[in-house]
Chains A and B, each alone.
Chain A
Amino acid sequence: MAELKLMVNGTSRTVDVEPDTPLLWVLRDTVGLTGTKYGCGEGLCGSCTVLVDGEAVRSCVLPVGQAVGHKIVTIEGLSKDRSHPLQKAWIEDEVPQCGYCQSGQLLAAASLLERKPRPTDADIDEAMADVLCRCGTYQRIRRAIHRAAGEVSHGQGR
């Protein structure tokens, strides 16, 4: 085991784990943040998406050792009070059904808006194609991202 220092949602956490442990399991089982979900373990479904230095990363295939020294944001850290424009849009458009994949969807969308504040449908499809939703909430995801993008451009929130 090794003592590793992680910066998760702005808080420094010291964890005693093997450096090759996927970040996902460290977040869930060691740090205690269960909002990040396991879906496939191979970076195929995107349920485990977190932000590492603002980029959407599949935490199920990222060895925790490689996350040391980088800023990690999980669903719990997207905002303190569901005030992120995407969270507000997700509620307004009633995106989630079962909700299991939605942390991954939200963080992938957050990373997209960081890069492209006014994404087109094609941008959304490209950025979000790696995040599966078995409930099929895709149409609402598109709509909510557009809604959130509008809010961002009008300077409300964040």
Chain B
Amino acid sequence: MARVVKVDRRDFLKVTGAAGAGLVLGFALPSGLVRATEPEAPFQPNAWLSIDSKGRVTVWVAKSEMGQGVRTSLPMILADELDADWSFVSFHPAIADPKYGNMGTGGSTSVRRSWAPLRTAGATARAMLVAAAAATWGVAPSACGTEKGRVIHAKTGRSLSYGELAGKAAGMAVPASAELKDPDRFTLIGKPLHRLDTPEKVDGKAIFGLDVRVPGMLHAAVLRCPVLGGKVKSFDADKTRAVKGVKHVVQIDSGVSVVAETTWAALKGREALSVVWDKGPNADLSSEAIHKMFEEKAKGRAAVARKDGRGLDALPEAAKKLEAVYEVPFLSHSPMEPMDCVARVEKGRCEIWAPTQNPQWAQGDIAKMLGISKKDVIVHTTLLGGGFGRRHLPDFVKEAVQTSKAVGSPVQVTWTREDDTRHGSFRPASYHVLKGGVDGKGHLSVLGHRVVAPSISEQLWPGSVKNGLDDSAVAGLIDMPYTIPNLLVEYVMANTPLPIIWWRSVYHSQNPFANECFIDELAAAGGRDPFEFRREMLAKDQRLKKVLELAAEKAGWGKPLPKGQGRGIACCPGFGSYVAQVAEVSVGKDGKVRVHRVTCAVDCGIVVNPDTVKAQMESAIVFGLSAALKEAITVKNGGIEQGNFDTYPMLRIDEMPRVDVHIVKSREAVGGIGEPGVPPSAPAVVNAIFAATGKRVRRLPVRPADLV
């Protein structure tokens, strides 16, 4: 059934245009859902489109493109309702503005949150084009249809292109309601269309933050204290100033900024700097101390996040009981493009070009820092060479702004790989205490999962965590998909001085790992098949059950494997989607894990672009495997021990397993796709290691020494 949505005319920012300008349409969420942030923009439009007299449709994309395909999927959503000719559709990145709503790109929300407003915007524009054609022909709008960028009057065979109609459509009244398509009538949504941004990514024309060039721009490198939270006490820049090409050396909040004619001169100048640091309170911080603190806190008081049945009080009655501790380390996001930013600070105004996931966060912070209005801070979001959560933070933007202000020129700040690894914000480490038992029939009867981890929310917004319970830190557990008669989920906030931020799939990268591995242990303790053991607990979560079954079926669960190989399974809901994976691994005599194949099943509701969904699953699996097998950030003497890719290794092509992705056909609401493929990868691999070797790994990354 087609759906009619009410269009609140007060929510249109403007409908303007003449024959030359065409139709420009701004569309907003219903006013009840929005909050005025600035008097000049009382509503928060989510999308813009324009159609010019040649019929070219431009869709403003207000989400950051970091590989997940929003510069294609978001235009697809709007263009489908518009019945646009896809070959006439292009995108335009939006600059930071409250009229676009929240532009933050994370939590796998881009398609989910843009779905309704973009569809409504497209449908409304289509209705206005139809009205314009109907008025031209003197017929009823209901007698007109649309197809591939044209309005058609079927009875007389007349038709007009959107380009021809754009001028007149701009003068049409905004309709009171817009009819949305029945999903069966989608023409673009659900098709594996080619990405609009791929061509420029194969010929060097794509502009990432590092590629921005502004007239008169200088290049800067910042020397920061190697100890977390340390500050500059004093510095001697004589040798730096002697380096050819170095123009300025200035102190900024994060350290000493060396400004030069080229990036290389800035880096060489930085190398010659001599700085005396005030190391601050963290000079003795070490991973061992953090580990000890986690261990201690795990024994202390915990906040109850969820209790079903009698919780752990039911443990004594279990026929088989198990206890285990799982641990995962701090991790770096390490996008291939390190942090960088271009800023031009002028009197009362600041222009920024940044590979940011959150241009409005940067805009707000910079406005405050410079004491100017947000509208005088113009933030252009460039392409992002990967983001994974790291680029929400505006720390690298502040460095460029402070440096530009200090030297009076546009400046590009470039972080080296070592800067990026050592001065990142990290995925929090965590420590998990698990207790559980199975009954005499081999069913899971009781489970307790205590998460000990730093709280991202508390660090970002001190005081925001009430009664010691950060719901987000127990994600994947507080919403446990399995029906378990007695369940206890607890959280112990264990903060550390390490800066932390969301890392692709956030706490879903930790909690389901420990939980899915422990579930596997319990299945084995009950003498059960790990797939069947999970399946019987998913009667109340049919969507997760279906992906679990599909992954098992496609992987040939239960069928023999070559000698030495083992299969592991894991599943996890999250971000509005459902994913299950089966990994096949073998372990060499040297303890080295080889992942041969990963079979993935995903239900993300209505699929916008199935090729993008597949690509995101492939990507998430590599991300998950890399964390499972290679990555760890450790601290010594208050500083991060890792630097470049030799000490912070990640998966390479010669370690890449075959990945098969199966998408469940679904008419459920659109789900997220950037993150939900990550959580099942590590537990599927670790469970497969057990199947192959009989060894349980309870600490990531998997170390060959654990397996010899």
Residues of A within 8 A of B (CB): 1, 17-18, 21-22, 25, 28-30, 32-42, 44-45, 47, 74-76, 78-79, 82, 87, 90-91, 94-103, 106, 124-126, 128-142
Contact = CB atoms under 8 A, between A and B. Distances in A.
B502 interface: no
A37 B619 contact: no
Nearest to A79: B203
Nearest to B677: A136
Contacts, number: 181
B203 to A, nearest CB: 5
B141 interface: no
Candidate in A47, A78, A138 with the most chain B CB atoms within 10 angstroms: A138
A129 B655 CA distance: 9
Interface stretch (B192-200, B532-540, B580-588): B192-200
Interface string B619-657: 111110010000000000000000011100011111010
B416 A102 contact: no
B67 interface: yes
Nearest to A22: B264
A135 B203 contact: no
7 contacts: A37-B208, A94-B194, A94-B198, A98-B66, A126-B654, A136-B620, A141-B653
B68 interface: yes
A128 B619 contact: no
Given A99-B67, A102-B201, 16 more contacts: A29-B263, A37-B208, A37-B210, A38-B338, A39-B336, A45-B336, A47-B336, A76-B203, A97-B68, A98-B66, A98-B336, A98-B387, A101-B336, A103-B204, A132-B645, A132-B652
A18 B244 CA distance: 9
A135 B386 contact: yes
Given A98-B336, A132-B650, A34 B213 contact: yes
B14 to A, nearest CB: 34
A42 B646 contact: yes
Given A33-B204, A37-B385, A100-B386, A134 B658 contact: no
Contact of A99 (B210, B385, B650): B385
A39 B654 CA distance: 20
Contacts of B516: none
Nearest to A88: B202
Interface string B331-363: 000111110000000000000000000000000
A126 B646 CA distance: 18
Given A35-B204, A41-B416, A100-B337, A140 B262 contact: no
Per DSSP, chain A at the interface is: loop
Nearest to A81: B203
Given A36-B204, A137-B619, A94 B195 contact: yes
A52 B669 CA distance: 51
A116 B211 CA distance: 33
A41 to B, nearest CB: 6
A9 B626 CA distance: 36
Contacts of A29: 219, 262-264
Contacts of B622: 133, 135-136, 138
Please name the 10 residue pairs, one residue from A and one from B, whose CB atoms are nearest each other, closest first. A35-B204, A136-B622, A100-B385, A97-B67, A99-B201, A98-B67, A75-B204, A125-B654, A34-B211, A138-B656
Contacts of A103: 204
Contacts of A18: 244
B206 interface: yes
Candidate in A17, A40, A124, A136 with the most chain B CB atoms within 10 angstroms: A136
Given A42-B644, A99-B383, A129 B204 contact: no
Contacts of A135: 67, 336, 386, 619, 622
Contacts of B244: 1, 18
B417 interface: yes
A35 to B, nearest CB: 2
A125 B656 CA distance: 9
Given A40-B644, A97-B619, A100-B336, A35 B203 contact: yes
Interface in B424-483: none
B674 to A, nearest CB: 10
B336 A106 contact: no
B325 interface: no
A30 B213 CA distance: 12
Contacts of A42: 417, 644-646
Nearest to B646: A44
B384 interface: yes
B336 A136 contact: no
A136 to B, nearest CB: 3
A47 B219 CA distance: 20
Nearest to B219: A29
B340 to A, nearest CB: 9
B208 A100 contact: yes
B194 A134 contact: no
Contacts of A94: 194-195, 198, 611, 615
B205 interface: yes
Contacts of A98: 65-67, 335-337, 383-387
Interface string B381-401: 001111110000000000000
A38 B659 CA distance: 29
B315 to A, nearest CB: 40
B618 interface: yes
B201 A136 contact: no
A138 B334 contact: no
B161 interface: no
Given A82-B199, A98-B386, A129 B619 contact: no
Nearest to A80: B203
B653 A90 contact: no
Contacts of A25: 262-264
Given A28-B263, A136-B621, A140-B615, A96 B652 contact: no
A146 B68 CA distance: 24
A137 B198 contact: no
A100 B386 CA distance: 8
A142 B67 contact: no
A130 B645 CA distance: 11
B414 A38 contact: yes
A140 to B, nearest CB: 7
Contacts of A17: 262
Contact of A91 (B68, B199, B207, B620): B199
Contacts of A138: 622, 651-653, 656
A34 B620 CA distance: 28
A102 B337 CA distance: 12
Contacts of B386: 98, 100, 134-135
A134 B650 contact: yes
Nearest to A104: B336
A86 to B, nearest CB: 8
B335 A34 contact: no
A39 B206 contact: no
A114 B658 CA distance: 26
B651 to A, nearest CB: 7
Nearest to B660: A139
Contact of B202 (A36, A91, A142): A91
B202 A102 contact: yes
B239 to A, nearest CB: 16
Interface in B50-77: 65-69
Given A136-B651, A140-B618, A96 B201 contact: yes
B301 to A, nearest CB: 39
